[in-house]
Chains A and B, each alone.
Chain A
């Protein structure tokens, strides 16, 4: 049996197979489509999710976001890790 994955800054998350992160033109917003599930990420989450390509590490993503946004690295790291852990638990992201 597989176990829960604990997310760390070394991980390089990407969308799990069968999860689509797309722009919904009709409603003009980003949407995550997954089995029997549809998530509408807020603006910050969209910024994070767009960087989850499987190539960037979370450490790199956090650095990049700290450069762009007016918040401390710690604060951003907290938000990013919490979101990615939650999305990993939900099977939306995989590392």
Chain B
């Protein structure tokens, strides 16, 4: 099989992040700062990415702006001709730093919003004051002349405010909005029962998005990610394993996707051992689920096999226990009905308990009782 070069590098420059979003897809065990690649090594990764034919770089994390050398990396990427995107929560940014990013060639910022309701947003993000800060950051992004995408993460507790989130994106001058239903990986999987929307909510959100898309043609482009568990067909996760994206994690492991290390029995090469090109073309990890040869039935003989590539391996693992199974979101998977009814029953059980990273689980009642007056979480602390 001939392998096309990847299109984009996901540069996960750190796992550190002051927020503690209940849906965070980061691994449960984070890479400590001391294991992070240094500036020079990241520059080498960016050089190799450009040589390999990648066209875009997404600086992500964790919160990429915790790295003081981010401007150096953006500058380096831009000089290599890579189109630069920054994926951020915004809470650590200030106006001057955004102006510097624009100066060294950043093109686009994707800023996440947890909600339009400040209290609920700060609760789900685990960071008091986040919402107000994000509003300021959105304005600075525009002032710096950067393209702005808002990423609105939707779940059971804010689905009813989807329309407000769309209006917020228009008011802030965003060119794009992602109405992104929570995906259940990492902390999101742990907090699934708290986050899962009901089918009725899903239908309302879909109607609101469809109406807004028509109304806002030429004003705001809206990308819509439906909650997986209620879908009939899986998403083409990462555009297919080892087909478009190459993710380098904070410690320098090259991954076909962010969650791939959850798959038992797989090992991933680091950029210290092999070049990106060698890893992309020849490593066991990138070839393991590439294309269609690995597929079991029903995928192997399905017309959709080169459209969704069998869905998400990490989801197959999380929900069926085996990453090589068809993604159970697919209606042809024997697990499909179970997954859907689990989602429905979790949503209707309406639990109010969740866990933050670095915090034992508590119920809403316990939180309110314990903190009497104060908020049940500490600003800026994620340890």
Contact = CB atoms under 8 A, between A and B. Distances in A.
Interface of A: 1-5, 17-18, 20, 22, 24, 26-27, 31, 33-36, 38, 88-91
Given A24-B55, A33-B83, A38-B55, A90 B221 contact: yes
Given A3-B219, A18-B108, A91 B55 contact: no
A37 B147 CA distance: 12
A1 B218 CA distance: 12
A5 B175 CA distance: 14
Interface string B207-218: 000000000011
A27 B219 contact: no
B83 A36 contact: no
Shortest Cβ-Cβ A-B pairs, 9 listed: A4-B218, A26-B53, A35-B108, A18-B147, A89-B218, A33-B83, A18-B107, A35-B147, A91-B175
A1 B219 contact: yes
B53 A5 contact: no
Given A1-B170, A24-B55, A91-B175, A36 B108 contact: yes
Contact of B110 (A33, A36, A89): A36
B176 A35 contact: yes
Interface of B: 4-5, 7, 53, 55-56, 81, 83, 85, 107-108, 110, 145-147, 149, 170-171, 175-176, 217-219, 221, 223
Contact of B149 (A1, A4, A35): A35
Nearest to A33: B83
Given A33-B55, A35-B176, A90-B221, 11 more contacts: A1-B170, A1-B171, A1-B219, A2-B219, A4-B218, A31-B55, A35-B108, A36-B85, A36-B110, A36-B176, A38-B7
A36 B7 contact: no
Nearest to B174: A35
A14 to B, nearest CB: 16
Nearest to B170: A1
Contacts of A24: 53, 55
A91 B55 CA distance: 19
Contacts of B85: 35-36
Contacts of B83: 20, 33
B111 to A, nearest CB: 12
26 contacts: A1-B170, A1-B171, A1-B219, A3-B218, A4-B217, A4-B219, A5-B218, A17-B145, A17-B147, A18-B107, A18-B108, A20-B107, A24-B53, A24-B55, A26-B53, A27-B4, A31-B55, A33-B56, A33-B83, A34-B147, A35-B176, A38-B7, A38-B55, A89-B217, A90-B221, A91-B176
Nearest to B56: A33
A71 B82 CA distance: 38
A91 B83 CA distance: 16
Contact of A88 (B4, B5, B218): B218
A26 B171 CA distance: 40
B217 A36 contact: no
Contacts of A1: 170-171, 219
Contacts of A89: 217-218
A35 B57 CA distance: 11
A68 B126 CA distance: 61
A88 B221 CA distance: 11
Nearest to B175: A91
A15 to B, nearest CB: 12
Contacts of B147: 17-18, 34-35
Nearest to B171: A1
Contacts of A17: 145, 147
B214 to A, nearest CB: 11
Nearest to B4: A27
A31 B5 CA distance: 15
Contacts of B149: 35-36
Contacts of A20: 83, 107
A67 to B, nearest CB: 31
A18 B176 CA distance: 13
Contact of A18 (B5, B53, B146, B217): B146
Contacts of A31: 55
A70 B175 CA distance: 38
Nearest to B244: A38
B326 to A, nearest CB: 28
Nearest to A22: B81
